[in-house]
Chain A
Amino acid sequence: MTFAIPKTAYTGKIKEVVLGRGPKAITVGGETSYPFHLFEGEMPHTPRIAIEVYDTPPDDWAEASLEPYRDVVGDPVAWAKKAAGVYGADMIALQLVSTDPNGLNTPSDQATETAKKVAAAVDIPVIVNGSGSPEKDAELLRKVAEACDGMNLVVGPVVVENYKQIGAGAIAYKHTLAANSPIDINLAKQLNILLGNLGVPDGQIVVDPTTGGLGYGIEYTYSVMERDRMAALTQQDERLQFPIICDLGKEIWKTKEAKAEDSPLMGNAAKRGVLMEAVTAQLLLLAGADVLIMRHPEAIRLVREMIADLMA
């Protein structure tokens, strides 16, 4: 008897979304099968990795994750250039954390200037993330959209509380939205419908399902992503057929396990942090991630090797 590969009958396809502009623009999505199931479908665009850049020097980072960026942490432009030039980032993810009203509360205008400078300094696509405060982000990301007119940034997190304001900016100034929902497939779909009703073109939406780190809820993100892909590819759920973006670096490196020092039980601190980040990224890739926002260059190198091997 000859073994016949048991194949899945797919009926859907993930939409292709272009990020950035010019010769270094990136296309993500386009899958016609589950992740890396290349024996029964296509993944025309390799998953991409964005490196984090912060608008304010971090004060509580693990030594291992700080070390590669120590000379640039005070300067987001230099940081972005290093991430692109030295560490070969596919994209930059500018984290405007200092705008958090519960933290430094940097004014939106000032943060917008930072975003503009960073976006102008690199030729690769740029993701601009607000602090996660829906009110502040509504104001901030609208201003960023206007200041970076036509650059096709990815702006997020766009949530149900502020999608109208940010969505209007994305339509007017041609940017892509990272539609963020709290680890729930129905809420993810609902937000995609709302964005469509608002008039955001499908080619300007990516889904951010909210990322739980290893040991801190990754199984929820993992299964929501698998369900998302199942609905999109086998149940023709058109409002879930978007590329997925996972913001994981910050989730890993804030844990006490990633920050703990060398010990016989927990091993080498630097390697442990790198592996926690890379393992999380690997699991998210298997669940369907198209864009990963990561921190440590060594974790990124490992994940890239795995992507290449899985697609070899």
Chain B
Amino acid sequence: MALTGIQIFKLLPKTNCGECGVPTCLAFAMNLAAAKAELASCPYISAESKAQLSEASAPPIRPVAIGTGDNVVKIGGETVLFRHEKTFVNKPGLAVMISDAMTDDEVNGRIKRFKELRYDWIGLVLRPEMIAVKNESGDAGRYETLVKKVMDETDAALILMSDSAEALKAALQVSAQRVPLIYAAAEGNAEAMAGLAKEYKCPLAAKADNMDSLAALTDKISAAGVKDIVLDSGARTVRRVFEDQVFVRRAALVQKNRSLGFPTIAFPCEMTKDPMKETLIAATLIAKYAGIIVLSDFQGESLFPLLVSRLNIYTDPQRPMMMQQGIYPVGNPTEDSPVLITTNFALTYFIVSGEIEASRVPSWLLVMDTEGLSVLTAWAAGKFVGDAIGQFVKKSGITEKVKHRKIVIPGFVAAVSGDLEEELGSEWEVKIGPREAAHLAPFLKQGL
């Protein structure tokens, strides 16, 4: 349960030394309660108080890291039920299932696609991060060999799946440095699995059949000293898995239920045999709260929509997606191609460049930094007006790309054309484009 400022204040040194950055311990306590300060800013707090406060100030959903290096997958740490309330922070890991009962071709195909399916998207690279390696053969040696192979050939964050503590131990001996998720502790084997998680310092999944037994199981694992836990409620039907995600998120955030304050793992791969439907189940879990989503395979046609869904849902609604300011060639423009200008709100850029592309008229698109505002908003805020646009155009280097001196501005800012012509000088001609990007194609096709 979160503490109030006064409860926190009682645990502080009450010296008002000011070294934390605010003048009094009471003010610091209030900031801590409001999550505006870090406990570490107080140099004089006692170890005992620190332990109590760390416990109380821990995030309601524990952040858990799986994997290492550039491809570490951080899940959990969420603080809201709806993205508009603040933002979702840690994108769910997307995993492909590889089993030691699969043929070499099935295994190699999945590894190949895991490595190759990467997408450039507004300056980002979208990619899957995880591989779930499942022990179905019953052969610990065979399993260890497969885990080693996946380790050697990929940078994947791993999920080690087996009912056998012996097989997991063998796999952990070759993979513990990669910090895999151990799947899973259940009622019958909780001690053995918790023992492995502690010994190899790895996170542990807890699997149960319902919320009650799941909470009891995490309590048992926590008591055994394992802190990093991932939850599997056992649901494998669409409605139940959806509801369980909502229950877990609400239990953690609304009820402050520590026993369920962990990220979740879900298995669309075990819920249908239809890869198309599996994709829709995964999309549902991206929107509604899963921490890891395990798929039966990765294919371009299904992975691409899921990666874009994940990016969209996890975009911070408080900060618009922005493009780098600069000159963007659309098609293969030449020194005679038209020059258009727009703002750097990513969506604006996307729609405008998409329509230019659809027109099949190669063009130069100048994207001006308006702090991520759309055309009308930027104009209203005084950031997309004649003199500012003119200065940007002159500095952009576009005159080295084209022979002509004509520039097309969005129809919505037709009013700035006079100021812009003045700023650019008489050699330039400012053309007023359509108000809607959808009308760019006929506009460009008729020639300037």
Contacts and interface: CB of A to CB of B under 8 A. Distances in A.
A255 B357 CA distance: 10
A224 to B, nearest CB: 8
B238 A310 contact: yes
Contact of B280 (A103, A257, A272, A282): A282
Contacts of A298: 276
Q: Most A CB atoms within 10 A — which of B301, B309, B354, B358?
A: B301
Interface residues of A, number: 57
Main secondary structure of the interface of B (DSSP, over half): helix
Nearest to A299: B276
A266 B313 contact: no
B317 interface: yes
A263 B300 contact: yes
A266 B304 contact: yes
B381 interface: no
Contact of A302 (B255, B277, B317): B277
Nearest to A303: B280
Interface string A50-67: 000000000010000000
Q: Most A CB atoms within 10 A — which of B287, B300, B315, B347?
A: B300
A312 B247 contact: no
A208 interface: no
A102 interface: yes
Contacts of A219: 83, 312-313, 315, 317
B108 interface: no
B243 interface: yes
Interface of A: 1-6, 36-39, 60, 102-103, 212, 214-220, 222-223, 226-227, 230, 254-257, 263-269, 271-272, 274-276, 278-279, 282-283, 286-287, 298, 302-303, 305-306, 309-312
B288 interface: yes
B116 to A, nearest CB: 7
B299 interface: yes
B283 interface: yes
Nearest to A255: B354
B283 A279 contact: yes
B239 interface: yes
Contacts of B309: 214, 218, 279, 283
Given A6-B250, A264-B116, A279-B309, A312 B302 contact: no
A217 B82 CA distance: 17
A305 B211 CA distance: 26
A86 to B, nearest CB: 20
B313 A222 contact: yes
A279 B277 contact: no
Nearest to B246: A37
B1 interface: no
